[in-house]
C-alpha cells in the first residue's frame, strides 16, 4: 500500500472527481483509498479537513435576474412624473399671466372709451389715440386668450413701450408735460413684460408636452 502522502494526493484527486484516473495511473485498485482511510486516523482527519475546505471555497454561481426592464420602467415613470410636475407648474404660471394680461387689456379699454366718445379739447387727436389704445388692448386680450399667439405681439409691445417712455422722458425734460401725466406709460412696459413672459410659458408648455421616452 502507498504511503500517506500518495494517498492524500489521491484524496485530492477524488475531491476533484478524478479518483479513478489517479488510481489507474498509480496502478491501484479503485477502493485503495477507502482501504487506507479505514486504517489511518491521520488521513481520515486530513480528508475531512480537505472536504470542509473544498466546500468553503467552492461557491455556486447564483442566478441573477435580468432587471433591465424594471429599471427602464422605473426611470421612464420618474421622468414622466417630473414632466407632469413641470407641466402643471408652467400651466399655473401661464394662467396667472393670462389673467394679468387680460386685466390690463380691460383696464386699457375702459380708460380709452371716454376719450373716444367725450368731447372737448383736441377731439380728433384724442379719438385717434383712444382708437389706437383700444386696438392695442384687443391684441393683448387675444394674446391672453390664445397664449400661443403671444410671441407675435412681443416686438410690437416692446417697441411701443420704448417709444412712449423715451418721448415722455424728452417731454418731461423740456417741460412740455408733467411727470404725473406721463407715469401711465409705465403700464405699456408692464404689458410688454407680461406678454413676453406669457410667450415664454407657451414655449415651455409645448416642450413639456413631448412624451418622455427612455431608450433601452
> What percent of the chain is modeled with pLDDT above 70?
84
| pLDDT tier, 214 (very low <50, low <70, confident <90, very high otherwise) | very low
Quote the DSSP letter at residue 185.
G
Would you say residue 189 has pLDDT above 50? Answer: yes
Report the 10 Å Cβ neighbour count for 134: 18
Close Cβ partners of 11 (under 8 Å, ≥ 6 residues apart): 33, 43, 46, 47, 50
Is 77's pLDDT higher than 50?
yes
For the stretch 148-172, pLDDT in tens is 888 888 998 889 888 888 888 888 8
pLDDT for residue 147: 86
Residue 103: what pLDDT?
92
54-65: per-residue pLDDT in tens?
Answer: 777 765 556 677
In this prediction, what percent of the chain has a pLDDT beyond 90? Answer: 4
Tell me how crowded residue 22 is: count the other CB atoms within 10 A of its CB.
20
pLDDT in tens, 1-41: 467 888 888 888 888 778 778 777 877 777 888 888 888 88
Q: What span, in angstroms and rounded, lies between the C-alpha atoms of 52 and 64?
A: 27
How much is the pTM? 0.51
Q: What is the signed CA dihedral for 63, 69, 72, 76, rounded to 10 degrees?
A: -150
Please give the Cα distance from 17 to 25 (Å, whole number): 15
Amino acid at each position: 500500500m502507498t504511503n500517506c502522502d500518495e494517498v492524500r494526493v489521491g484524496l485530492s484527486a477524488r475531491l476533484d472527481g478524478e479518483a479513478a484516473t489517479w488510481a489507474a495511473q498509480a496502478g491501484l485498485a479503485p477502493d485503495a483509498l477507502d482501504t487506507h482511510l479505514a486504517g489511518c486516523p491521520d488521513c481520515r482527519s486530513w480528508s475531512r479537513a480537505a472536504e470542509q475546505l473544498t466546500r468553503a471555497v467552492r461557491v455556486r454561481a447564483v442566478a441573477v435576474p435580468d432587471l433591465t426592464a424594471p429599471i427602464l420602467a422605473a426611470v421612464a415613470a420618474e421622468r414622466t412624473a417630473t414632466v407632469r410636475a413641470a407641466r402643471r407648474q408652467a400651466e399655473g404660471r401661464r394662467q396667472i399671466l393670462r389673467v394679468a394680461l387680460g386685466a390690463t387689456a380691460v383696464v386699457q379699454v375702459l380708460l380709452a372709451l371716454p376719450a373716444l366718445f367725450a368731447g372737448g379739447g383736441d377731439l380728433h387727436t384724442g379719438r385717434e389715440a383712444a382708437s389706437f389704445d383700444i386696438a392695442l388692448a384687443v391684441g393683448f386680450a387675444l394674446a391672453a386668450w390664445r397664449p400661443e399667439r403671444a410671441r407675435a405681439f412681443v416686438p410690437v409691445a416692446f417697441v411701443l413701450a420704448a417709444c412712449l417712455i423715451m418721448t415722455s422722458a424728452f417731454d418731461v425734460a423740456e417741460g412740455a408735460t408733467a411727470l404725473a401725466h406721463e407715469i401711465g406709460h409705465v403700464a405699456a412696459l408692464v404689458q410688454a413684460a407680461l406678454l413676453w413672459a406669457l410667450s415664454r410659458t407657451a414655449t415651455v408648455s409645448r416642450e413639456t408636452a413631448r412624451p418622455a421616452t427612455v431608450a433601452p
